[in-house]
Amino acid sequence: LAMPIKSGVAAFLMLFYFMMLLSNATGLFDGVKADFEQLRRLLP
């Protein structure tokens, strides 16, 4: 069950990151990077 959840989360993060790139929200990248670091710690 863990693998589908991980791939789903990864796909969601990729989509979210792509939307951020498209919207040119450079000011929010610091917060996004912090979120990615937290998620990387959660997912082994």
- Write the pLDDT tens digit of every residue in 4-32: 888 888 889 899 888 877 776 565 666 67
- Residue 6's pLDDT is 85
Yes or no: say if 39 and 13 are a contact pair by the CB < 8 Å rule: yes
- Residue 24's pLDDT is 62
In angstroms, rounded to a whole number, what is the distance separating the alpha carbons of residues 41 and 2? 16
